Structure formats: C-alpha cells, structure tokens
Chains A and B, each alone.
Chain A
Amino acid sequence: MGNIDRTTMTRRGLLARGLGMTGGFVIGSGWVAGRTAAWATEVTAIRPETMATLVQMARDLYPHDRIPDENYVVAVKGYDTPDQAPMIEEGVALLDGTAADHGHPNYLGALWETERVDILTALEGEEFFHTIRSGLVTGLYNQKSVWPLFGYEGESFSEGGYIDRGFNDIAWI
C-alpha cells in the first residue's frame, strides 16, 4: 500500500479524476464550458483542458466573486493562438506538475482556493506566472463590463460631467 499514489486515493483526487476538472468541462472537441455552464468557449490552438485551467488560474490570481467566468475567459482568450500555445501548454504543465508536488492530481484537482494559492505561490518566480499575472491587470480590469461591478462609472463627459450629477453628494461624512 505504501507505493500507492495517495493523491489518486483521496476524495478530492477521485473527484478530480471523475470530473476531469473543476474549473470547466470539456464539452466536445475544441470546446470547454464552465462549471455552471454559464460560459463556453471554443479553443483552436490550446487544449480545452488548458483553457479551463487558465481560467481558474486567472480567478485565483484576481478573485472577485461577483465577476462571472466570462470576463476571466475574455482576459485569457488571447493566449489561444498558435504563437502562444507552446508557452501556455508548457506553463499549464508546470502548474499541474507543481500541483502534483503539493499532493493534488492536477491544478484543478486542488479544490480549495487556498490550496491553489499555495501552488501559485510556489511558481511566483516563473516567467509563465509573471506573464499571466501581468496580462490580467489590463486583460481583466480594462473590460468595461466589469466596471459596474466595482461601482466605477467610466467617462462622464458625454453626460456633462458630475457638476449637476453628484460630484459632492457624499451624505455620510
């Protein structure tokens, strides 16, 4: 029994094997969908599993519980190109390998965010980590569709600024 890979015997290991992944499901050749089926995207250059892992990684780096998966998908979709694919596949393999070192079947098989954060922390010095993290700063937060979730209103010039629309409307001070 001592030789059995414990990661495959744990509940989470079995779950991960059974589901394939927790971040998203492969729903057909070249397609990957979210856990809740709220999003689905076609991939052309990277593997569907790789996209699902990237989306989870993006959420773990910049977790906002009110931002839906779609925005994280948009933020990393640009890596699905023939040019980027080798770097991404290699990076996700590194991520899965590090997850294995931490006792998980793969990155998505680490079910708690804190477990995945430990994996990411171990990779902080890697170029792959740096590329994904820094890309998200613009890739995620510069999507106008996420701004309302933070209360941010964007430009106001088209509405005449805030001079008559609450530039000094703070009432609790």
Chain B
Amino acid sequence: MSAPFEKTDDSVVVIIGTGAGGGTLANELAQKGISVVALEAGGRYLPEDYINDEWDSFAQLAWTDARKAVGGWRVARDFGGLPTWIVKAVGGTTTHWAGASIRFQDHEWKALDSYGAVEGANLLNWPIDGAEMAPWYDKAETKMGVTRTGGRPGLPGNNNYLVLEKGAKSLGYEKVHTGRMAINSLDYGDRIACQQTGFCFQGCKWGAKWSTAYTEIPAGEETGNLEVRERCHASRIEHDDTGRVTGVVYFDADGVEQRQAARLVCVAGNTIESPRLLLNSSSNMFPDGLANSSGQVGRNYMRHVTGTVYGIFDKPVRMWRGTTMAGIVQDEAHHDPSRGFVGGYELETLSLGLPFMAAFLNPGAWGREFTTALDSYENMAGMWIVGEDMPQEGNRVTLDPDAIDQHGLPIPVVHYDDHPNDIAMRDHAYERGMAIYDAVGATRTLPTPPYPSTHNLGTNRMSERPEDGVVDRWGRAHDVPNLFVSDGSQFTTGAAENPTLTIVALAIRQADHIAREMSAQNI
C-alpha cells in the first residue's frame, strides 16, 4: 500500500511531528518500506518561502499557540506567554536551529554516576552510553553532513568568530574552532555550501543547513511510504482494552476532528507538546495520562543553562554577517566541580539582528544604559552559553485547568526554576565570556539573560527502571508496548551540547529497532 493512506488503515505507523526526531524517523522508516503517516501541526515552508526579516519570519514559523511560562526563571517575567522559541512547520525546529552538531561527552550519559546525587536535582543515568551511541552518531553526522567529521572541512570563521577566537586563545583556551556544523562547508548531498548570509535562525534560504523540511521529508515521500498531513494537530492518542494504542485523534487544517488508525504511534511534538499530548490522552485505564504510571510525564523539564554575552568594541565587528553559530569554545565543557558546579558548558558564537537585539538584549529595559548599547550594535560581538542544567521534578509541563487553545484543548503551563547549580554555572560562564571579550579590548560587556527556550528536553525521560521515567532504552513507553517517544523529551539529562545531533542519532537508532521489532511481529 502506498501513500496517501486510509484513515482506517491500522497497519501504518503514525508519527506526530516532523522535526529532528519525527522527520528523521519518518524518512528512516519509509526507506525501510514501512508505511508512515506523519501528522504535522504546521504548514509547509521551503527555502524559497523563508523570510530574512526577524519579526516577519517569527510570524511565519514560530509556535505561538497559547502557552504559559511560570516559575522563578526570568523568561516567565519577560515572556510569560512565550516560554519557547520553536517552530510550527513541516521540519519543525530544524528550520530554526543553528546547526551546531556536537556529541555528548561520555561522562554525560551517566550524569548521576559522574556528578553524584545533587540536592534538589532528579539526576539519573541514561540506560545507554557513548559506546552504544557512537555508530548512530556516525550515521547522523553522515546524514547531516556535519563539518569536521567524516573528512568534511570546517566552515570559515566570520567576523564574530574571529573576535571570539582571538579572545579565547588569549586566555589560553585551546578547543576553539568554527564548530561541527550541519551547515555545508562544501556542497554535500543535495545541499550547496554556506553562502555566509546570516539569518540561520529564520530558515536557510540556500538550503545549506540541514533541515528535515527539505531533506528527510521529501526523501521519505519519494519512497511512496510516507504521507505528511500538514496543519493537523494531534489532540489525543487512543488505546484498546489491552492498553495498546490504536490511533490518533487530530484536528485537520479545517479544524475538523479526524482519527487515524495506527499499528504504533511515535510522539515527536517537541518537549512541551509531547507530554501535553500524553496528559491530554488520559483515560480510565491511564487516569494520570498515557504512559504515566511513573508520574514522570511532563517532569524534569530542561532547557539548558543559557545566557548571552555581548562585547562592545571601539571598532566595527558586524557580527550578523555569515554563519550565526559557526564558532565554539569547548574548554569549559568538561566536568570539574572545583569551578563550583557540576557539569560543563559550551560557548558558541551568536548574533541577533537589530530588531531581536532590541527585544532580547535586556527585556523590559529602557533609557540610555540600554540605548547606548544598541547604538554600538555594529561594534558588537556575541556568544551564547549552552550548559547542562539540572533535571528537577518540579520543573514541568502541566495542563492549565483554566485555559484552552483554539481546539478546545487545555494549554500547557511550563514551570521552571533555576537550580543553584544552574545559577553558579551561568555566573561562571558570564565571567569567562566577559573575560574573553575583555582580552580583545572590549569597552563594554553585557551579560544578557536567557531567551525563550529553543532547547527543550526531558519531559518524557528515558530510564532503565519503569518507576524512574517514561520510556525505555529504545524510546518505547514503559507502560504501552506500541507507543514511542522520538524527540528531545526522551532525554534523561541534557548534557552541555546542542541537542539536535543526539535527537537525530536516537531517531535513526529507534527506526532500526522499530523495523526489527515489526518484522519479528513483536509490535
């Protein structure tokens, strides 16, 4: 049978979401001859559609459905209705991501063993490790064309990188380079080399950056085994009396409720929507939400320790020119508790255009301290902090009892409090970042607060024991044999690395497992 599929066809795999996890999984399964229906809440936008204007692009791509941010994090104060900066479109947040593709360090797979118990944190070891993941990382890097892997050269450094490199090396840092990036330094696959245009966050108009929107999705569709249904918002996963899932209820592009039957269901709607869907799928058999016997669905929300340091110099930098995130300092990424915290952090180049700089430099600020900084926009360099934050049970996604979205579904509430370890790490990173720019002669440095979260992790975490988490080592729900989680919500811990490469590697591995189990008639 080939796409499109009947809604009553219960032989198909239904995947919810088409981003790094869902989009990759969909193509991998389709390539293996498995029938897949992918439900995507957003519309389809391709490079020719992307808009190199920050607010216009935000209006085109961002997930702006009603959400609440609460808790002690500053995002709740500054952006109470926008806890995340992620994408609602075919390709999901792989349209927006910056391309940084670095592997977890070995010790990070075993955070509890590596760091010991941390008070207030809900640390756990992943049930898998770096050795097991190595071949899947290889496949992911090959698929995505990651630079500085597989013999592919690094990207050239832009102005923003050259400032970072000079300062970092002045301080004695050694692991300083233009990153391992899923942005082509040479033509690779069907994608051309980076043209140094900037606007990586707004969708790459050259298609030089890997995004499932124009790689995995069309490749899967070409097999005839993948049907992507755009603007279809999953609202509930249904199950039978034996506790196996049987289909997915969704609202189609016209807002009409539909149901797609399924042999198995893979949830990949990003770390906010995935637990929301499971919680909204509660039933008599699963009164606390589907696959939630552990009570961990929605908990342990992680978003990385982030923050940005901008340096102002007496001469122009023009940081917006070129690849946004092709620059990294990895010398602080290791675990060294003598710094006053466990885990580590990466420092990566980042720039915003003037409109977003005004919105995010210091939200709520006004007056000359703020505007004189903007006056020096042309002379700014910027770096982003990406560090491991602590999983905490109280940091969680819940359903709002008082507010519903356009489909009548309870909206998600995202609660986050910084752990003392997070704060200590951020303060350390601010100090190091400012020192890097001071070493190049910065006349002013700005430790800028976190933006709405782009890295959203952990709310359906992977665990060896069913009581500790939601899914097993394959991403399969402990409680439901034919339900999988395929996005960053399965992360047990966040590590210090940008998560996309690991999400893709896990999806390739999961596809292999699902195909094997289906073939053996185990699911």
Contacts and interface: CB of A to CB of B under 8 A. Distances in A.
A167 B366 contact: no
A3 interface: no
A32 B288 CA distance: 62
Interface string B349-374: 00001110111000010111011001
A33 to B, nearest CB: 25
A64 to B, nearest CB: 5
B354 A150 contact: yes
Looking at chain B, what size class is its interface with the partner chain?
Answer: 35 or more
Interface in B311-363: 315-318, 320-322, 353-355, 357-359
| Chain B binding surface, main DSSP class | loop
A156 B197 contact: yes
A162 B354 contact: no
Contact of B322 (A62, A133, A168): A168
Contacts of B162: 168, 170, 173
B46 interface: no
B199 A63 contact: no
A170 B163 contact: yes
B79 to A, nearest CB: 11
Contacts of A156: 52, 197-199, 321
A151 B52 CA distance: 17
Q: Which of B359, B371, B440 has the most CB of A within 10 A?
A: B371
Interface string A99-111: 0000000000000
A78 interface: no
B371 A63 contact: yes
Contacts of A62: 366, 370-371
Contact of A152 (B353, B366, B440): B353
B378 A162 contact: no
Contacts of B206: 157, 161
Interface string A159-173: 011110111111011
A74 interface: no
Q: Is the interface of A mostly helix, strand, loop or mixed?
A: loop
A142 B366 contact: no
Contact of B316 (A137, A142, A151): A151
A161 B358 CA distance: 23
Interface in A96-135: 117, 120, 133
B55 A142 contact: yes
A55 B198 CA distance: 34
A83 interface: no
B367 A137 contact: no
Interface stretch (B139-147, B151-159, B454-462): B151-159
A101 B65 CA distance: 43
Contact of A141 (B52, B194, B358, B366): B358
Given A168-B162, A168-B322, A162 B440 contact: no
B195 interface: yes
Nearest to B363: A137
Most chain A C-beta atoms within 10 Å of own C-beta, residue among B55, B166, B206, B375 = B375
B64 interface: no
Interface in B296-321: 315-318, 320-321
Given A152-B320, A162-B197, 8 more contacts: A63-B371, A64-B374, A137-B358, A138-B359, A151-B318, A153-B321, A167-B156, A170-B316
19 contacts: A61-B367, A63-B371, A64-B371, A117-B367, A137-B359, A147-B354, A151-B378, A153-B318, A154-B52, A155-B52, A156-B198, A157-B52, A162-B158, A166-B318, A167-B159, A167-B321, A167-B322, A168-B162, A169-B159
